[in-house]
Structure 1
C-alpha cells in the first residue's frame, strides 16, 4: 500500500491564492466531471463543469485532447440561464461537428450546483449519442434523433468543492453500472478527534486520533471492489479558521492519461488539490475512477 504522507510531503496538497473566505464559499461551489470518449477516430476528454456563484447557476462543456489541450468550449452563463434548454453546434479541429443538447427546464438541484434529476445533457457526433448524462434519456434520444454509440464514454473523474463545519456529503457512483451512493465525511476536531467516512449511512472507514494521523490512506470495499482512500486534513487541525482538506477516492491505479488530467486540470479556486507525486510513475497501468474532494471547513 502506498504511503500517502511520504509521497505528499508537507506541501503535497497545495493551496492556491488565499484561504476559503466567506465569499469564496459561495463563488467557488463547483463540481467538475470528466469523461473519455471517441469522436469518430479522435480520442477526447469531455469536461462538464457545474458551478454556482452569486449570479446563479451555470455550466460549461469543454472538449480537449488527451494532453489537455482545449479543442472547443461552450459556457452557459447565469445571465443566459433562462434558456434552460437548447442546442449548440461545436466544431472540433474544423472537421468534426458535435451537437450539444441540454434540457434543464425541469431540473431539481440539491445544495450543490449539480442537478440531481429532471434533466439531460447530451453530445451527438455523426448521429450517434456519444455522451448522455441525466435521467431524461428517452427525451434526449427523441430530441436528438440519434442512436446509441457503440463506443460509450467512460466517467473517469469527479472533483468537487464542499463546505461546512464537521459533516460533508455528496453522491458518488464508483462504477458505470454500479449504484449511486450517499457519501458522508465527518470530522470531529474538537473532542473525539476522529474521522468517519460513511456510505449510505454505514461506516466504511474510521480513523481515531487524527491529530496524529492527519495524513494517510486506507482501502475500503464498495460494491465488491477495492477503493483506496487518501486524506490530508493537516490544515483543518493546524491551519486557519477556514481550513481546507483533500480527500481522494480511487477505484484503481490511474493511467498516464488520468494522472495528467487530474494533476494539470484540477480546481482553479482557493483550494487546489494536486495529484500526489508518487502517482506520476509512467509504468502504472489500469483504468479507474477518481473522486477528489476539496473540503473547506468553517467554525
Structure 2
C-alpha cells in the first residue's frame, strides 16, 4: 500500500488539488475549502463486517460542516453519508439524529454540538459527541462525551472496539504550522510544530518539533526537500517522512508541504490482512499533514 517516491522512502498518499488565488494565513478560499479540513478514518464493526468510517470536518469563510460516511468493504464506490451543517445560526441542528442504510442494515447517527468548543482547527477540541448505532450496539463514538452518548442512545458499546486508522489534516500558514494529534497507543495528544526559514535562498532550513522538543532540523532544503527520519517520542519510535519540494519551487501564491508520521519501526508497519471474504487490508495508524504555505 505504501510506495516510494523518487529520492526518499515517502509513502504515496493522495495529493490535494493545486490551489489558485491569493490567500491569507489561517484562511482559505471557498473554492479550496479542503485546505482547512480534518479527516479521520476509523475501522469499525458494522453489520458484522469490518468497514471503514470516514469523518471529515471542513471550514471555510462561509461554511462549517461535518460529514460521516461508511464504506462497503466489497465495493469501494459505495458510500453512505450523513452531512451536518455546523453554522452558528442553525442552533436547532446542533443536536440531532439521522439514519442511513448500509447493505440492508439501518445505522443511526446521533450528535450533540450544542456546547462544542473549537480552536483554530475545523475539528472540535471538546464537549461534543457523534455516535453510530447498529444492531442495538454503539459501534463508534467520536468526541469526548462518550457517557452522554451512551445515555442518549440507551445502547451498550459493541464488544469489538473501533480503531483509528489514519488522520489527515490541512493547515495554512507562512512559516509556522501547528497541529495536535495522537501518535501511537493511549489517549495522549502531542503538539506538533513545523517551522521553516526560506528567506535565505542559499540556505533554507526546516524544523520539526514535538511537545516542545526539536526532533528534526533539516538544513539545505535544496538538497533535502524529500526525506525521512526515525525519532523517539515517549519511548515510541516515530517515522517521519517529508516532501517540501513545492515550498521551494512552486511559484504560485500557495504551495504545500507533505508530512507523514507513522508510529513504530519500519518492519512493524506491515498490513494486517482480514479473514473476511472481502480480504480487507488494515494499515497501522498514520498521521498525514498538508502544510499550505501562503504569502
Same fold, TM-score > 0.5, yes or no: yes
- Tell me which residue corresponds to 1:229: 240
| Residues in 1 aligned to 2:198 and 2:58: alpha-carbon distance in whole angstroms | 29
TM-aligned CA deviation for residue 177 of structure 1: 1.8
- Tell me which residue corresponds to 1:51: 58
- Tell me which residue corresponds to 1:114: 123
TM-aligned CA deviation for residue 90 of structure 1: 1.5
Deviations 1:64-105 (A, max 9, x none): 0235333411111356843111111111112x1111011111
Instruction: Determine which of 205, 215, 220 is the counterpart of 2:231.
Output: 220
Are 1:184 and 2:193 an aligned pair?
A: yes
The answer to whether the 8 A contact 2:137-2:156 is kept is: yes
Deviations 1:40-79 (A, max 9, x none): 3211000000001232211001000235333411111356
Higher strand share: 2
Distance 1:224 1:5, change over 3 A: farther
| Residues in 2 aligned to 1:294 and 1:171: alpha-carbon distance in whole angstroms | 13
Higher RCO (CA < 8 A, seq sep 6+) = 1
TM-aligned CA deviation for residue 204 of structure 1: 1.9
Equivalent residues in 2 for 1:189-200, closer than 5 Å: 189-191=198-200, 193-200=204-211
Equivalent residues in 2 for 1:1-299, closer than 5 Å: 5-6=6-7, 14=15, 16-19=17-20, 21-22=22-23, 25-27=28-30, 28=33, 29-66=36-73, 68-78=76-86, 81-82=90-91, 83-94=93-104, 96-191=105-200, 193-240=204-251, 241-252=253-264, 253=269, 255=271, 287-299=283-295
How many residue pairs get aligned? The number is: 269
| Residues in 1 aligned to 2:183 and 2:80: alpha-carbon distance in whole angstroms | 28
Aligned-residue RMSD, C-alpha? 2.7
Q: Which runs of 4+ in 1 moved over 6 A?
A: none
The answer to whether the 8 A contact 1:58-1:81 is kept is: no
TM-aligned CA deviation for residue 247 of structure 1: 0.8
Distance 1:81 1:176, change over 3 A: farther
Structure 2, unaligned stretches of length 5 or more? 274-280
The answer to whether the 8 A contact 2:19-2:255 is kept is: no
Distance 1:20 1:120, change over 3 A: farther
